Amino acid sequence: MPECRLERTVRPARDMTTGFFSHPDCLLHEMGEWHPECPARLQAIEDQLIASRIDALIERDDSAPLAVDAALLRVHTQAHLDYLRELSPQEGYAAIDPDTSMNPHTLQAALRAAGVAVAATDAVIEGRYENAFCSVRPPGHHAEPARAMGFCFFNNVAVAARHALDVHGLSRVAIVDFDVHHGNGTEAAFAGDSRVLMCSIFQHPFYPFSGADNQAPNMVNVPMPARSKGMDVREAIDIMWLPRLHEFKPEMVFVSAGFDAHREDDLGNLGLVEDDYAWITEQIREVAKRHAKGRIVSCLEGGYNLSALGRSVVAHLRALADI
């Protein structure tokens, strides 16, 4: 009798879905009732997925493990990991800066958020999904190799990008960041690394007051003045980002997907709307389709007006999934 083997079938690209990665642990971190980076952000995204009726058109995955030290140490120092573990409180809050603190569950949530980004990277590279969105918190792009700051503890996108390079052996990856704040942590991790091209737009001057000067050759930072509208941002992306991305020919694209540049978000002062996020995502998808087999992993960063956040994520997902 012939041997019967069960093998996982890898679907052809045209049948692939967009993976939606999250985990309940990401709801456990909170920094006080007053804080805009709150668990309700992920719940608002869930509500809009249901309201928009695209919930059934994406494939959910909430099985990601916690990030292991080896993955984190590709970006962060051992001293940084030790500091967060030592600071993690048994009760109440432990402050890192005036806007960033840990509760007893923060470390678990931060490890899970980075683990989700790594798991999504594995899934996309292995061909289980064409692309993926990670609905995670705490966010990551302000976390520098040796410093937590700006609501961020581990740099989720940077950890995932290093995983793609060092574990999967990719030669070139691009990181695109459209949060209203400059991703100083991601820049600190990759400035001067010829395997990585980082393209970002951000309001300037604005927190964290970086990114506009002394750019490394692999950084395409585009500071935008306050009150810039969607067409201003689209023009900047068309002129500044896209030629560099096509010239670079990334084998995978990572996205720091912050939605606080939305005109309804009080934490920034830019004027983007849902159609702008859809357009930006379509440009990223075209780059990935042309050079990277469509491979994209997008991780949630900012976005603090709950209604605008949910609607913007839906627009982003529609463009990722081409629906």
Quote the DSSP letter at residue 239: I
> Which two three-digit tokens encode residue 2?
């012939």
Q: Mean pLDDT of all residues in the chain?
A: 95
Question: What are the beta bridge partners of residue 256?
Answer: 177, 299
Cis ω before 39 (30° cut-off from 0): no
The helix/strand/coil state of 238 is: helix
The answer, yes or no, to whether residue 191 has pLDDT greater than 80, is yes
The answer, yes or no, to whether residue 12 has pLDDT greater than 70, is no
Mean pLDDT calculated for residue range 108-124: 98
Quote the DSSP letter at residue 144: B
223-232: long-range contacts, CB 8 A cutoff, minimum separation 24: 223/182, 224/270, 226/269, 226/270, 227/269, 227/270, 227/271, 228/203, 228/270, 228/271, 229/270, 229/271, 229/272, 230/271, 230/272, 230/273, 230/275, 230/276, 230/279
pLDDT value of position 145: 98
**Which entry of 80, 142, 181, 262 is annotated as an active-site residue?**
142
For residues 76 and 154, the answer to whether their CB atoms sit within 8 Å is yes
CATH top-level class of 17-321 = alpha beta
Closest to 138 in 3D by CA, of 305, 298, 256, 26? 26
Mean pLDDT calculated for residue range 194-217: 97
Q: Give residue-wise pLDDT tens across range 26-84.
A: 999 999 999 999 999 999 999 999 999 998 899 999 999 999 999 999 999 999 999 99
pLDDT value of position 125: 98
Using pLDDT thresholds of 50, 70 and 90, give the confidence band for residue 96.
very high
H/E element, 83: helix 78-87
Mean pLDDT calculated for residue range 226-240: 98
Domain positions in the chain: 17-321
Mean pLDDT calculated for residue range 76-96: 98
Asked about 80 being catalytic, the answer comes back as no
pLDDT value of position 15: 58
Amino acid at 174: A
> Which two three-digit tokens encode residue 80?
């940084």
Residues 6+ apart with CB under 8 A from 52: 314, 318
pLDDT value of position 198: 98
**Residue labelled with tokens 């600190």:** 188
Cα 57 to chain centroid, rounded: 21
The answer, yes or no, to whether residue 107 has pLDDT greater than 50, is yes
Using pLDDT thresholds of 50, 70 and 90, give the confidence band for residue 321.
very high
